[in-house]
Amino acid sequence: MTEPHRVAGMALPARRTWHRRTHSALDISRAVTWTIRLTPHQIRLSGAVLGERLTSHGYGLAGAVRPDPAELLRYRRVEVLRRAAHAERRTLDRLARIREPGPVACRPATG
């Protein structure tokens, strides 16, 4: 995992241009691009939502400012809706598998 460039030629087809960085050695320059790509609002929200998980994995939190309670409530509402949609999809998939016809009889090929 620390040397993806050694296997990238075999593991990734040339057409996968979005994986081009895997063909070179690891570089820490992209490690903090989130500070540029995320807005301060997004950084506060992710710190509030993922803070415990981040600190348990040894990461520090970017800022101690908590997001506005309305922002946090809006995030939680969307999170609940997404989890419910995912659970519904899983349930429908399970029902579809249960309703599938039983084993298909095998017939030898003629010819």
List of residues 6+ apart from 8 with CB closer than 8 A: 19, 22, 23
* pTM, full prediction: 0.59
Over residues 72-98, the mean pLDDT reads 96
Mean pLDDT across the stretch 70-74?
Answer: 93
Q: Above 80 in pLDDT, residue 67?
A: yes
Q: Calculate mean pLDDT across residues 6-22.
A: 76
Average pLDDT of 40-68? 86
**For 30-46, what is each residue's pLDDT tens digit?**
778 888 898 888 888 98
pLDDT of residue 81: 97
In the 8-state DSSP scheme, what is residue 43? H
